[in-house]
Chain A
Amino acid sequence: MGVKAALARLAAGAPARCFAVVGAEADEIAPWLRLDPELVIVDSPRAADVLLVLGQLDDEMVRAAAGVHDALPPPRGVVSWSPGGERPVSWPFTDDVRVDDPAQIPAACRRLRDELLSGRRASSPDILPDIDPAPWRGVGPFGQGGAGMTGGVPYGRPLAARADDRDGLKLDQILVRVGPYLPPFPSGLVLDVKIQGDVIQEVSIPTPAAVAPDLISAGAHSAGAHSLTGERALFNAAVTQPVPVADIEVARARHHLVWLAEALRVSGLEAYGRRVLKLARTVRPEAAEPVDDLSRWLRRNVSLRWGTSGVGMVSASRAAALPGGPVARAAGDGRDARSLDPAYERLGFTPVVLEDGDALARWRVRVDEAQQALALAQRAGESLTTPIGLVEGPCGPIGGERSTSAALVTMLPELLVGMEWGDAVTTVVSLDIDMAEAALPHDAAVASRAS
């Protein structure tokens, strides 16, 4: 008892380790949790004490969240937040701690973890049944033998199928069901990936959109009322009404910096990522020097160039098929909805365009655009945008026929085939896919903006 109590006291001093399941409406909250000293966002449920369920989930995402929940080692608990406090009918978490205000999330996680450790609260029970999908038993008297190792179904699952490798040998090809909650992939992205060794041989998207459109559009209606950081609401508003250029450009710079913080973290530069995230929180047009320093540092960094140069090439023809956005501009396609706006013309705006089309070019385009956005915001003063029905959002044009994120998700299978796993992760991160935008059908988007 003494040892256990002493260990529990020691553990109580540490931040709560949380695995975040991020649904619709929560993608503007989740990145900032990394700056909170009360909790640590971990990349695997095995390393977590608390499952954080943020935003709105559809049935499929709730099912996957139940799988994540059961992978947390006990004692474990669930903290959930949803805009408007609504939970789907199929909500599987019976004893979750419900938070109404996103600002309360870190404290709630810490409190829950302390209660779990001290035994004042019982561990969250299993949701899925504890049975293997098939009995693990071969034909022999001790369960051995049969087709393949251990009867061919170790732990109740058959062994991988086989396919040709690059030398014409037949080797195992394993199907990995990626997503919807595999960091650092965007939450909600679902891919079926067939890999051999660590080379991707086939990629398919099991469902066109992982998030139900009705949930998204319902959320988009109420986004303003729940006082999120409001980035998406701001860009959506600019489609139909004039908004200050300075506001929209600072929001763009902030979005790119938040993206960069995550990209740096994925590249193994976690501490630098945190610094960039802190910078994103406080970024102002009149204090743009840190962003200039960042851009200079990024240009000089050899290891980042090594890891991103030539990776995830988006050819000029593929870029032309995209509706626009930084990914297309990094591949030499100069389309930018801001070029059509007279307000930007008066500010002397020219789009940032690079020719290479690889992940490095996308990194550079975003950092250059963040720099440019701050410069524009400073010059803009009180000037307002002109509502022309099309706004250049941080991931691509908003208000067009199709969202850039949806086009990028459709492009993923052909882009990722033949890559090693590490390059695939670098590529997906460099595309900055906004899953809420990808799931948003055109008419729902227009409807939500009109309201």
Chain B
Amino acid sequence: MHGIAAALAIFFVTLVGFLILRASERHIAPSKSTAPARVPFTGGRAPDTHAWNRYHVRYYPMTLLFLAFDMEMVFMYPWAVVFVDEGLIALIEMFMFIVILLFGILYTWRERALEWA
């Protein structure tokens, strides 16, 4: 019960602190942005279009890349458990496994999946 009370106390103290900071910000630096100040700065000239734009994130190769390293971690947990018993053999096996995964990165690189365009 004490634990919950302490947690709630910390929560409310933090919340009140945050709100005080948030409110005092206005008094310390009163400012409002104007329309010319809101545009992204690109050198002083006004833009024609809004900065929202859609670009190709290339999820498909990125997903493959993610899966490769996800699998690596899945394999590493049991490996870490038996590593001390197996010794050098386990280390070499893991090294080989990671080298194979590195080919995945090289493939992704060649496919230009790491470029945002």
Interface residues of A in 227-273 (CB under 8 A from B): none
If the complex has contacts A4-B27, A179-B45, are A153 and B117 also in contact, measured as CB distance less than 8 A? Answer: no
If the complex has contacts A132-B35, A420-B115, are A154 and B43 also in contact, measured as CB distance less than 8 A? Answer: no
Chain A, residues 183-215, CB within 8 Å of chain B (1/0): the string is: 001000010000011110000000000000000
If the complex has contacts A159-B49, A167-B56, are A185 and B43 also in contact, measured as CB distance less than 8 A? Answer: yes
Number of interface residues of B (CB under 8 A): 29
- Complex Cα distance, B51 from A73, in Å, reads 20
**Is residue A172 contacting chain B, with contact meaning CB distance below 8 A?**
yes
Chain B, residues 27-53, CB within 8 Å of chain A (1/0): the string is: 110010011111101111111111111
Number of interface residues of A (CB under 8 A): 57
If the complex has contacts A165-B117, A166-B117, are A175 and B48 also in contact, measured as CB distance less than 8 A? Answer: yes
Q: Is the CB of A177 within 8 A of B47?
A: yes
Q: Is the CB of A64 within 8 A of B45?
A: yes
Instruction: List the A residue with the shortest CB-CB distance to B48.
Output: A175
**Is residue A281 contacting chain B, with contact meaning CB distance below 8 A?**
no
Q: Which residues of A contact B103 (CB under 8 A)?
A: none
- Complex Cα distance, B43 from A185, in Å, reads 9
Interface residues of A in 70-110 (CB under 8 A from B): 70-71, 73-74
**Is residue A161 contacting chain B, with contact meaning CB distance below 8 A?**
yes
Q: Is the CB of B43 within 8 A of A196?
A: no
The residue from B36, B43, B115 contacting A70, defined by CB atoms under 8 A apart? B36
Q: Is the CB of B28 within 8 A of A4?
A: yes
- Complex Cα distance, B39 from A45, in Å, reads 12
Instruction: List the A residue with the shortest CB-CB distance to B46.
Output: A67
**Is residue B55 contacting chain A, with contact meaning CB distance below 8 A?**
yes
Instruction: List the A residue with the shortest CB-CB distance to B116.
Output: A197
The residue from A44, A174, A178 contacting B49, defined by CB atoms under 8 A apart? A174
**Is residue B54 contacting chain A, with contact meaning CB distance below 8 A?**
yes
**Is residue A32 contacting chain B, with contact meaning CB distance below 8 A?**
no
Instruction: List the B residue with the shortest CB-CB distance to A44.
Output: B41
- Complex Cα distance, B117 from A35, in Å, reads 38
> Of residues B24, B36, B38, which shows the largest number of chain A Cβ atoms within 10 Å of its Cβ?
B36
Q: Is the CB of A178 within 8 A of B42?
A: yes
- Complex Cα distance, B88 from A115, in Å, reads 69
Q: Is the CB of A196 within 8 A of B117?
A: yes
Q: Is the CB of B34 within 8 A of A130?
A: yes
Interface residues of A in 155-179 (CB under 8 A from B): 155-161, 165-167, 169, 171-179
Q: Is the CB of B50 within 8 A of A159?
A: yes
Chain A, residues 118-141, CB within 8 Å of chain B (1/0): the string is: 000000001011111100000000
**What secondary structure prevails in chain A residues at the interface with B?**
mixed
**Is residue A3 contacting chain B, with contact meaning CB distance below 8 A?**
yes
**Is residue A226 contacting chain B, with contact meaning CB distance below 8 A?**
no
Q: How far is the CB of B50 from chain A (nearest CB, A)?
A: 4
Chain B, residues 97-116, CB within 8 Å of chain A (1/0): the string is: 00000000000000000011
Q: Is the CB of B47 within 8 A of A155?
A: no
Q: How far is the CB of B41 from chain A (nearest CB, A)?
A: 5
Q: Which residues of B contact A185 (CB under 8 A)?
A: 43
Q: Is the CB of A130 within 8 A of B36?
A: yes
Q: How far is the CB of A6 from chain B (nearest CB, A)?
A: 10
- Complex Cα distance, B25 from A3, in Å, reads 11
Q: Which residues of B contact A64 (CB under 8 A)?
A: 43-45
Q: Which residues of B contact A199 (CB under 8 A)?
A: 115, 117
- Complex Cα distance, B58 from A137, in Å, reads 32
Instruction: List the A residue with the shortest CB-CB distance to B58.
Output: A167
The residue from B28, B38, B44, B115 contacting A181, defined by CB atoms under 8 A apart? B44
The residue from A70, A73, A132, A177 contacting B42, defined by CB atoms under 8 A apart? A177
- Complex Cα distance, B50 from A21, in Å, reads 25
Q: How far is the CB of A196 from chain B (nearest CB, A)?
A: 6
Interface residues of A in 398-414 (CB under 8 A from B): none
- Complex Cα distance, B115 from A360, in Å, reads 22
- Complex Cα distance, B58 from A171, in Å, reads 13
Q: Is the CB of B50 within 8 A of A67?
A: no
Q: Which residues of A contact B39 (CB under 8 A)?
A: 71, 155, 157
Q: Is the CB of A174 within 8 A of B51?
A: yes
**Is residue A321 contacting chain B, with contact meaning CB distance below 8 A?**
no
If the complex has contacts A149-B52, A157-B50, A161-B49, are A45 and B41 also in contact, measured as CB distance less than 8 A? Answer: yes
If the complex has contacts A70-B36, A126-B34, A197-B116, are A180 and B44 also in contact, measured as CB distance less than 8 A? Answer: yes
Q: Is the CB of A181 within 8 A of B43?
A: yes
Q: Which residues of B contact A190 (CB under 8 A)?
A: 43, 45
- Complex Cα distance, B34 from A68, in Å, reads 13
- Complex Cα distance, B52 from A190, in Å, reads 23
> Of residues B41, B46, B50, which shows the largest number of chain A Cβ atoms within 10 Å of its Cβ?
B50
Chain A residues within 8 Å of B, Cβ to Cβ? 3-4, 7, 21, 44-46, 63-68, 70-71, 73-74, 126, 128-133, 149, 153-161, 165-167, 169, 171-182, 185, 190, 196-199, 420
Known: A165-B56, A166-B117, A198-B115. 6 other contacts (CB 8 A): A7-B28, A64-B44, A71-B39, A156-B35, A169-B56, A177-B48
> What are 14 A-B pairs with beta-carbon distances under 8 A?
A44-B41, A45-B41, A64-B44, A66-B44, A67-B36, A70-B34, A126-B34, A171-B56, A175-B47, A175-B49, A176-B42, A182-B44, A197-B56, A197-B116
